[in-house]
C-alpha cells in the first residue's frame, strides 16, 4: 500500500457516471504511470451500476485514491469542477475514463511545466479513436468549413487535435478559435490557473472558453509525440438536444446553441480579437444551427420507428 501523500505534486480528477466497464482499467493505467507523486480524485455522479463498489475496493488498495459519491446526478460540468475543487496538488489534470494514456504521460508533461515558467498547460499530441471518428471525417459540411478556415476541422487522423500556443494572447486565441477543438482541456495544468479559468455558468463550448481563459495566463505546450488516445463517441449518446436539456438549458438557448459562447467571446476576448475573427463566429453559429437541425431530424426519425 502506498504511503499517504498529504500534498501531492499532481492531482488527477476523474468525473464518472456509470463507469463500471472502464473505471478499473483507468485506475490501473494511472497506478502504472512512471511518475508516482499524485493523488486520484474520483467524483461519482450518482452511478446506478457497480462503479461505487469498484472504486471503494481501490481506495482500500491505494490511499492516494479519494472517492466521492454524489447523492444525485449533478451534470457533467458540475462533476468536472468538483474534482478540481477537491484537488490538493500543485498541478491538475482530468482523466476521462474512456481515454488511453501512455505510462509516461504525467512525467513528460510535468517536466515541461517544471522547466518552463511561461507554460501554464502541457499536453502531448493526441490520436482519436471511437465509433464517431468516421462520421466526422465524412461530414461534407465539416469539409466545406475546413476549406474556408485555416486549422478548423482538421481530420482526426492527422493527429492535430492540439496545437502549441506561444506569445501574444490575440495570436493564441485566434489559433484555438479557428481550430475549434477542446481536447486541450485534458492537459496538465498549473492548478491555480485552471481554477481561475473555469466558467461560472456553463454553456455549449464552455470547454473551449476555459482554454481561452487559460491562454490569458501563459503559453500552451504540446509534446511532439502521441501520449494520449482520445475516445470519440459524439456529443452524447442521447444527442445534443437531450444533453443540453439535461443541463437545464432553455429551448431558446438550445435553438441558438452557439450564441452564448459567441456572446462570452465578445465580452472576454476584447473587441479587437472578436472583430478579427468575426467571419469565423458567423460560420460557427451557422454550424450550430446545422447540428441542432440534424439532431432534431434524427429524433423525428427515431420516433417514427417506434
What pLDDT is recorded for position 2?
Answer: 45
Mean pLDDT by 10 residues, the chain (306 residues): 69 96 94 98 96 97 96 92 98 95 98 98 90 54 49 44 92 91 93 96 91 98 94 58 58 71 96 94 83 64 54
CATH number of the structural domain spanning residue 10: 3.90.550.10
Of 204, 209, 210, residue with least CA distance to 259: 204
Asked if the structure places residue 188 within a domain, the reply is no
pLDDT digits (tens, 9 = 90+) for 173-209: 999 998 877 899 999 999 999 999 999 888 889 999 9
> 108: which residues sit within 8 A by CB, 6+ positions away?
124, 223, 227
| Tens-digit pLDDT profile for residues 143-184 | 555 455 444 444 443 445 788 999 999 999 999 998 877 899
**Alpha helical stretches, state H, 190-277:** 191-196, 206-214, 240-246, 251-255, 259-268, 271-276
The secondary structure of the chain in percent helix, strand, coil, rounded to multiples of 5, reads 50, 15, 35
Q: Are 99 and 127 in contact (CB under 8 A)?
A: no
For residue 129, what are the β-bridge partners? 231
The full DSSP string for 18-77 is S-TTTHHHHHHHHHT-S---EEEEEEE-S-SSTHHHHHHHHHHH-TTEEEEE-SS---HH
Q: Which residue has cell 481530420? A: 155
DSSP 167-191: S-HHHHHHHHHHH---GGGGSEEEH
Question: Could you give the C-alpha distances from 141 to 98, 148, 288, 296, in angstroms and in order?
Answer: 28, 11, 12, 17
- What is the Cα Rg of the chain in Å? 19
33 belongs to a structural domain: yes
295 contacts 239 by C-beta, under 8 angstroms: yes
Helix (H/G/I), strand (E/B), else coil: 101: strand
Tally of structural domains, the chain: 1
Whole-prediction pTM: 0.84
Task: Decide if 4 is inside a domain.
Answer: yes
Range of the domain at 58: 1-98
Residue whose C-alpha is closest to residue 186's, from 118, 245, 109 = 109
User: Residue 287's pLDDT is what?
Assistant: 77
Amino acid at each position: 500500500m502506498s504511503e499517504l501523500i498529504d500534498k501531492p505534486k499532481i492531482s488527477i480528477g476523474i468525473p464518472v457516471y456509470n463507469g463500471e466497464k472502464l473505471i478499473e482499467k483507468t485506475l490501473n493505467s494511472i497506478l502504472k504511470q512512471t511518475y508516482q507523486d499524485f493523488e486520484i480524485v474520483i467524483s461519482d455522479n450518482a452511478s446506478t451500476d457497480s462503479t461505487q463498489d469498484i472504486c471503494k475496493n481501490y481506495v482500500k488498495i491505494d490511499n492516494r485514491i479519494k472517492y466521492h459519491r454524489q447523492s444525485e446526478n449533478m451534470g457533467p460540468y458540475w462533476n468536472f469542477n468538483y474534482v478540481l475543487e477537491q484537488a490538493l496538488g500543485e498541478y491538475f489534470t482530468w482523466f476521462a475514463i474512456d481515454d488511453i494514456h501512455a505510462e509516461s504521460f504525467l512525467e513528460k508533461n510535468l517536466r515541461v511545466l517544471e522547466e518552463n515558467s511561461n507554460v501554464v498547460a502541457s499536453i502531448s499530441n493526441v490520436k482519436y479513436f471511437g465509433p464517431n471518428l468516421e462520421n466526422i471525417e465524412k461530414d461534407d459540411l465539416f469539409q466545406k468549413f475546413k476549406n474556408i478556415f485555416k486549422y478548423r476541422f482538421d481530420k482526426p487522423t492527422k493527429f492535430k487535435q492540439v496545437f502549441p500556443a506561444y506569445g501574444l494572447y490575440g495570436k493564441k486565441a485566434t489559433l484555438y478559435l479557428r481550430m475549434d477543438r477542446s481536447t486541450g482541456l485534458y492537459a496538465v495544468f498549473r492548478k491555480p490557473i485552471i481554477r481561475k479559468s473555469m466558467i461560472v455558468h456553463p454553456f455549449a463550448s464552455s470547454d473551449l472558453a476555459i482554454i481561452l481563459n487559460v491562454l490569458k495566463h501563459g503559453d500552451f505546450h504540446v509534446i511532439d509525440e502521441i501520449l494520449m488516445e482520445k475516445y470519440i463517441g459524439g456529443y452524447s449518446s442521447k444527442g445534443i438536444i437531450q444533453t443540453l436539456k439535461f443541463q437545464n438549458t432553455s429551448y431558446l438557448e438550445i435553438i441558438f446553441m452557439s450564441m452564448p459562447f459567441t456572446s462570452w467571446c465578445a465580452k472576454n476576448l476584447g473587441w479587437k480579437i472578436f472583430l478579427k475573427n468575426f467571419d469565423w463566429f458567423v460560420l460557427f453559429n451557422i454550424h450550430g444551427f446545422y447540428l441542432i437541425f440534424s439532431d432534431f431530424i434524427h429524433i423525428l426519425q427515431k420516433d417514427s420507428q417506434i
